[in-house]
Amino acid sequence: MESILEIKKLNLFFGKNQALYDINLKLERGIIHSLVGESGCGKTMTAMSIMRLLPKSAIIRSGEIVYHGENILYYKEKQMRALRGHKIALVPQDPMTSLNPLFTIENQLVESIRTHSKVSYKQALRKAKEVLDMVKLPDIENKLKSYPHELSGGMKQRIIIAMALAEDAEIIIADEPTTALDVTIQKQIMDLISEIKKEQGTTILLISHDLALVSNYTDRISVMYSGHIVEETSAPDFFRNPLHPYSKALLNSLPSKNPALKLKTIIGAPPSIQEQISGCKFHPRCEACKPDICITQNPELKEVDSGHYSACLLN
């Protein structure tokens, strides 16, 4: 399958503290690729590296982010502004951070379209209505005249997705797109993202800590732990045959359909960015840990089976 964007050996630091370690991630055209793991594992920093929207204190020491054959880490800010929203769009966790409370939805959608396209206000408004219809926003005329605070969380999230569609973005990065939404609206938003992938051929990078949510929608999964990608494979293979102990622990911690079974938690807590852990970063929490190798050797992500990668010394 055609690769549309590829991260190669990306290393990100905050001062002396390393946040991302040799991240390799390939996004293929027209699929949903999920990046999963506990909070603080580096998922959002990976996404922000692609968008070049990192905090000022963050420094990419080495690596590449290749989009259509060009390393966009060398792009000047003007080039990145042309790329953001137009070719690579971000759907953030909280839509209120992307919608200006002082302007109507019409003002913001039209302005977004005209920023990247040389069209009249009337043409941009027509396009805005088209994409709002695509995301199944009800009562479009009234919603266009509304301010963000007058809309529900689900409606605002649909509008953010519509902004991405308006620019015909090739890649949509959806960072926890269902956060703070109730279960029914979560499903509607995920169904919408899935439809966009199928109908528009858009590549989706879905960032989530909720394996149960992404299981019904994703095509491929990368699991992150403490700044490392520890497993990557197709979704069916992951849920059928996880290889890394962390992946197994995540799946074992999911609620069971059998109410008599207790939730199995992962012992301990994820390390902070300041903690120095020798060997495998997961070994302090790993039930399968073999101290003689796991504490002394640093595992690399390697192909264990066809298309199935794991960073575990025991595989």
Distance CA 193, CA 190 (A): 5
Q: Given this model, what pLDDT does residue 98 score?
A: 77
For residue 301 the two structure tokens come to 């992500």
Q: Given this model, what pLDDT does residue 10 score?
A: 98
| Domain contains 45 | no
Of 41, 24, 33, 20, nearest to 225 (Cα)?
Answer: 41
Q: Given this model, what pLDDT does residue 248 score?
A: 94
User: How many other C-beta atoms lie within 10 A of the C-beta of residue 135?
Assistant: 22
| Domain contains 312 | yes
For residue 11, what are the CA distances in angstroms to 23, 36, 276? 7, 19, 16
Q: Helix crossing, 153-166 with 121-134: angle to 10°?
A: 120
3-class SS string, 59-88: EEEEEEEEECCEEHHHCCHHHHHHHECCCE
> What are the φ and ψ backbone dihedral angles of 170, each rounded to 5 degrees?
-80, -30
| Domain contains 145 | no
Q: Given this model, what pLDDT does residue 262 score?
A: 65
Quickly count helices (H) and strands (E) in the chain. 11, 12
Distance CA 133, CA 250 (A): 37
Taking every pair of Cα atoms in the chain, the longest distance, rounded to a whole number of angstroms, is: 69
Instruction: Give the up-direction half-sphere exposure of residue 231: CA atoms within 13 A in the CB hemisphere.
Output: 25
Distance CA 193, CA 204 (A): 8
Q: Given this model, what pLDDT does residue 82 score?
A: 87
Instruction: Collect all residues with Cβ–Cβ distance below 8 Å to 56 and sequence separation of at least 6.
Output: none
Domain count within the chain: 1
| Domain contains 129 | no
| Domain contains 161 | no
Instruction: Walk along the chain (315 residues) in steps of 10 and give the mean pLDDT of each run.
Output: 92 96 96 94 96 95 96 95 88 79 94 86 94 92 95 90 86 89 87 92 94 92 97 96 95 71 80 92 94 94 95 94
Burial of 65 (0-12, 13-18, 19+ CB in 10 A): buried
**Kind of pairing, strands 203-208 and 171-175?**
parallel
Residue-number span of the structural domain to which 297 is assigned: 243-315
Range list of β-strands (E), the chain: 3-14, 17-28, 32-36, 58-67, 70-71, 88-91, 171-175, 203-208, 220-225, 228-234, 302-305, 308-310
Q: Given this model, what pLDDT does residue 304 score?
A: 95
> What are the φ and ψ backbone dihedral angles of 243, each rounded to 5 degrees?
-105, -35
Q: Given this model, what pLDDT does residue 213 score?
A: 85
Q: Given this model, what pLDDT does residue 33 score?
A: 98
Residue 3's DSSP bridge partners are: 28
| Domain contains 300 | yes
Length of the chain: 315
Q: Given this model, what pLDDT does residue 253 score?
A: 85
Let me know: does 230 contact 221? Beta carbons within 8 Å: no
